[in-house]
Chains A and B, each alone.
Chain A
């Protein structure tokens, strides 16, 4: 590999990683937080797209464990917790939707019942088949090398197999499942294959009806695989103390299927019924998104809801990775560093120390950015006619000597209420000593909004660069982080073709303008991702409206009085209302388009409020700051409904500012 190959270009979809690539790429940073995955009990692994759910579930796969053993890399799980065998179903890849494909052919009164029975059967067959295939896989690896997965010693002697089938065929849930005598696990897999095949042929319309042998041997979800696990232990094929962990990935597929099939929550309820049994013979590992899990916890048949900590425990990856008030203990940067290092090392590239710093450098200071934005342009202080000439001269001088940021601060400071009340602008003798910097926070809180205005006045793209900013823009999402790395690398390749083609194995140092271009590209990609998921067009329209609304408010704020208006806040009680817009806000939150944060209000009423910001990686697209500071917009449902219809005029915003902006932005003055 060389620098010509973008190390982030491929292999970034977990499902497509082969086991040996997984060993090279997998970061174990989250293992301690996800320790429950390797213990007893059902676990629901929740997170947004790109949070790393599938990556953690893949760690459980036998093929992954074998690859670790063969590559002499320590499996990143304490050995006392390795005594398990895992099987799984990937609901998207296995086309779970096929079960609903002929639902409208059934009598409406029985439709849900038939679909539930067929789905349970398809689910059971896939899990049982995968469990048997995993046993064969481990056995084969152990035949090659006894050291592989020594905690799960597989024994497939004739006697054990005979005992196994004798035992299995007597189990209630397996009556009629094996239509022919089986002597090997392969025979049993063949029977299950035929079962899966019949469901698919039926979905494709290639058979009129499911055959009677299948219909008569369907069973409740989860029981056949539990009985299979039991028979495997009792016959000695797997050791009696080995846990059987059952992975169900892309659980949200069921939620999405239910929404358009008109079948209520039947699919999730069938799965919930398997968890509700608390069957100690098996334990489920469900990979899902927040909205898909939380919206229906009832079980098929009984209707009884699942109870957290009794029927299942939750590992919330978004919660684990999010940043608390203070950055100490923030997991995401550690994860991002580790993922980056592994990706670069796997590509054969070299670096010393911190690769993030070497690739992206340090972020520019606010003053440096301001100088880049204004370049050699003449001061553009907007003074009032009542201001003393000394003030105008002072601010223009600041600009000329290379401090346009303070010049802009000075103008804004003079416009603020306290200074207007004290007529400061009329007293030329006060024009000295950067009085706005007497408060430690005043300027710091206004850096971003001042920079946005300086760039906006000159039709320039905002500067995004540096290791810290790359981490911040990723918004605690590893997929967003990888997207940024990928687009910046691709930009560097395009803009520095000769350099990229060199055979050097040293990682490059990206220039700031390559980073600006690459980050803007990543932001466009992230914006386009709004087209994926539930209610994609409504979400897209709402997020676009919010982005434009925030920008227009920040551009028109000459007093720099509202530097936090890149977010909005609502009373928490409003969220209880049955309202379309509230549902939309929640949907945006669950898809990661909006970040929801508890809002400690400055209002005297102290009512509980929540605030929302765009995902940081959407901010370059809308040309607004990603930094959350000061107070957000105190909004109302009524106002947001107008905003969602792009009715900015109703909110007293200077829409002309937005209309004047060009979509073709220049890069700030870089050489």
Chain B
């Protein structure tokens, strides 16, 4: 039987009894992108290896503002992870996530993986998750998320692209008819 517990990190991690972790994280303009690694460092968790994503956005005014903040987070994460065989993955937001994700997963030195999705673009972390689930050497998979202290009352994205399937999740057998109804409730 597979156990899929969930809860706060300081509750769940001691219960897993894992000594060495492989961390997959993504630097971003948000402060919380460093929260997991900072917490693991402060609580003396052993990070044996890591893959650190540094993702470029398409050029825009917002990115001009956000890029220095992303660079700052990256430097923090890199310095904290550097002793742990940190493998840097540089890529672009709209590129295929496949090669970059394989690159990150190939560098596993432990069968226990923490995937921090906090500020990972969905198209990347969903692909990495897909690879990790298929990877037989992965024994423990912990997916973490850090809540922000506050959220701005602003649009979360600009000039969004038309909806399309996430890479890795294209429907293999297409059916024209819709045989289910998705009810989605969101807060304004």
B160 / chain A contacts, CB cutoff of 8 Å: 531, 536
Per the bound structure, the CA–CA distance linking A92 and B164 in Å amounts to 8
Interface residue? A448 (CB, 8 A): no
A93 part of interface (Cβ distance < 8 Å): yes
Query: Would you give the shortest CB distance from A67 to chain B, in whole angstroms?
Result: 14
Given known A16-B178, A205-B127, A537-B158, contact A197–B96 (CB-CB < 8 A): no
Separation of A205 and B170 alpha carbons in the complex (Å): 10
Provided the pairs A253-B162, A537-B158 are in contact, do residues A105 and B168 lie with their beta carbons within 8 angstroms? no
Choose among B94, B165, B178 the residue that contacts A98 (Cβ–Cβ < 8 A): B165
Q: Confirm or deny: B169 has a beta carbon within 8 angstroms of a beta carbon on chain A.
A: yes
What is the 8 Å Cβ interface bit string for chain A, positions 538-553, against chain B (1 contact, 0 not)? Answer: 1000000000000000
- Contact among B99, B164, B169 with A204 in the assembled complex (CB-CB below 8 Å): B169
- Is B173 interfacial (CB 8 A cutoff)? yes
0/1 interface trace, chain B 163-187, chain A, CB 8 Å (1 if under): 0110111111110111000000000
Q: Does any Cβ of A come within 8 Å of B159's Cβ?
A: yes
Residues A200 and B162 in contact in the complex (CB < 8 Å), given A104-B95, A205-B98: no
User: What is the CA–CA distance of A383 and B108 in the complex, to the nearest angstrom?
Assistant: 82
Q: Do B96 and A256 touch across chains, with their CB atoms under 8 A apart? A: no
CB-based contact A102/B174 at 8 Å: no
> Which residue on B lies nearest to A90, using beta carbons?
B176
Let me know if B161 is at the binding interface, CB within 8 A: yes
Q: Which residues of A contact B158 (CB under 8 A)?
A: 537
Query: Could you say which residues of chain A place their CB within 8 Å of the CB of B127?
Result: 205
Using a Cβ cutoff of 8 Å, how many contacts connect chains A and B?
62
**Other-chain contact of A102, B98, B130, B169 (Cβ < 8 Å):** B98
A104 and B172 in contact (CB under 8 A), knowing A536-B160, A537-B159?
no
Docked complex Cα distance between A531 and B163 (Å)? 12
Given contacts A103-B96, A104-B96, whether A200 and B159 have CB atoms under 8 Å apart is no
What residues of chain B lie closer than 8 Å to A97, measured between beta carbons?
A: 164-165
Interchain CA distance A102-B100 in the complex, whole Å:
12
Given A93-B176, A105-B98, A260-B94, do A205 and B162 touch, yes or no (CB 8 Å)? no
Answer yes or no: A95 CB below 8 A from chain B CBs: yes
Residues of B within 8 A of A102 (CB): 96, 98
Distance in angstroms from B177 CB to nearest chain A CB is: 8
Contact B170 A535, beta carbon cutoff 8 Å: no
| A196 cross-chain contacts in B, Cβ below 8 A | 174
Closest Cβ–Cβ distance, residue A90 to chain B (whole Å): 8
CA of A261 to CA of B162 in the docked complex: distance in angstroms?
Answer: 13
* A97-B164, A103-B96, A260-B94 as given contacts; A197 in contact with B173, CB under 8 Å: yes
The answer to whether residues A204 and B162 also contact, given A101-B96, A260-B94 and a CB cut-off of 8 A, is no
| Nearest chain B residue, comparing its CB with the CB of A96 | B164
| CB atoms of B168 and A204 under 8 A apart | yes
Instruction: Provide the bound-state CA to CA distance between A94 and B175, in Å.
Output: 9
Q: Complex: how many Å from CA A104 to CA B177?
A: 33
* A 502-546 to B, binary, CB cutoff 8 A, 1 in contact else 0: 000000000000000000000000000001100111100000000
Q: Could you mark each residue 135-169 of chain B with 1 if its beta carbon is under 8 Å from any beta carbon of chain A, else 0?
A: 00000000000000000000100111110110111
Smallest CB–CB gap between A444 and chain B, Å?
A: 42
Q: A101-B96, A105-B99, A260-B94 are in contact. Are A204 and B167 (CB under 8 A)?
A: yes
Q: Which of A18, A95, A536 meets B159, CB within 8 Å?
A: A536
Contact between B161 and A94, CB atoms less than 8 A apart: no
Whose C-beta in chain A lies nearest to the C-beta of B157? A537
Given A16-B178, A93-B176, A104-B96, A98 and B170 contact (CB-CB distance below 8 Å) = yes
9 tightest A-B contacts by CB? A205-B98, A537-B158, A104-B95, A102-B96, A98-B170, A97-B164, A200-B172, A204-B168, A203-B170
10 contacts between A and B (CB under 8 A): A16-B178, A95-B170, A95-B171, A97-B164, A103-B96, A204-B167, A205-B167, A205-B168, A535-B159, A536-B160
Q: A95-B165, A104-B96, A205-B168 are in contact. List 5 more A-B contacts (CB 8 A).
A: A102-B98, A205-B127, A205-B167, A256-B161, A532-B162
